[in-house]
Amino acid sequence: MRSRQRMFAAVMRLLLKCLRLGRRRRFKLVRQAEQLWHYGHLCLRSLLYNSFTNGDVVLDSLFEPVYWLVDHVTRWFGVVFVALVIGLTSSIVAIVYICLLPLILQTYTPAWICWHLAYGHWNLIMIVFHYYMAITTSPGHPPQTKDDLTGVSVCRKCIAPKPARTHHCSICNRCVLKMDHHCPWLNNCVGHYNHRYFFSFCLFMTMGCIYCSISGWEMFRDAYAAIERMKLLEKERLQVAANQTYYQTPPPTFSFRQRAFHKSVVYLWVLCSSVALALGALTLWHAALITRGETSIERHINKKERQRLQKKGKVFRNPYSYGSWDNWKVFLGVDMPRHWLTRVLLPSPHLPHGTGLSWDLPPCVTEQRSPLLAI
């Protein structure tokens, strides 16, 4: 009996000793795993830590593959977008000349005919001129040498001098002077030398679309009602043919020319109204940027700088803004009153103020400002 008790006690002691050893090993493994985790985290932070890193930088890094794909698609499909703009605009012009102009000449009074002919052709000339200049004019690129440039930085991507207001375009793969953005509808960057052409094209295209939408509203209503009537009569004609009632007179059928005319009017009004809304919003956005003396890229830069200085109790001032009115004069190149006619209301290939390398005070600015700082 005692031998059994001794044997049982020995077995229990051995079991408890094994449990203690297993628990110690388990704790040891957990401690080793925690040490490896902290060591790996420290190595990762030492390699990737950046004091300027924030949520925007992390999101940009995560979306970098998406940006790469969009840049390459935009680069290869730029010609397609340009052809699409030319094709859609040409179709609207063709519909106006073939379908609407004869109707205008037959039904409108001489005063309205003169107005439509004068305004329509002026608007069309301004659209064609500014679009052609926007896609063919180089936005401007900084020189590859730093001999004549003072106070410039170096672009991290093309390793070349980067003057103030210059930014690198990932689609064109080079720096652009006073870059605003890369426009796929132009297949070109919008920069210092073609920014005015781009905005003028957007403005006159919006004006032309609004003009077509307002002028063609009554024609659109009549054409839409005619198309609905065509569908109803076509349905009745099929029902008569199915019932084979020869004593009934079949509904009249519309000719191909009538169908094409009504559908063309509906197409013109829908397309012009859609473009007027979308392009009008873009034009207003760029007008607000021009009023503040900013580009699309500088708007984001200035916003962050304004927030940074606000935390320090300071007020940010855009060094390239001369006041709302003077900003428009500098942007449009208006140096004297007659330039509002010769350079704004008529096609003009005049160059913008400055070279895009330095930003001296333009002669048309009435208010003197403090020296400009580089952004």
First to last CA, the chain: 95
Buried/exposed 143-176: b ≥16 CB within 10 Å, e otherwise: eeeeeeeeebeebeebebbbbbbbbbbbbbeebb
Task: Tell me the C-alpha distance between 333 and 327, whole Å.
Answer: 10
Active-site pick, 99, 175, 183, 202? 183
- Integer CA distances (angstroms), 299 to 39, 179, 212, in order: 42, 12, 33
Based on the residue annotation, tell me whether 183 is a catalytic residue of this protein. Answer: yes
Both tokens of 31, joined, read 């401690």
Structure tokens that stand for 1 in this block: 């009996």
Residue 231 contacts residue 322 (beta carbons within 8 Å): no
What residue ranges in 123-206 does DSSP mark as E strands?
Answer: 153-154, 161-162, 167-169, 174-176, 181-183, 188-190
What's the CA dihedral at 172, 174, 175, 177 to 10 degrees?
Answer: -50
Based on the number of CB atoms within 10 Å of its own CB, is 35 exposed (0-12), middle (13-18) or buried (19 or more)? exposed
Query: How many separate helices (H) and strands (E) can be counted in the chain?
Result: 11, 6
- Taking the C-alpha atoms of residue 131 and residue 90, their distance in angstroms, rounded to an integer, is 13
Active site residues: 183
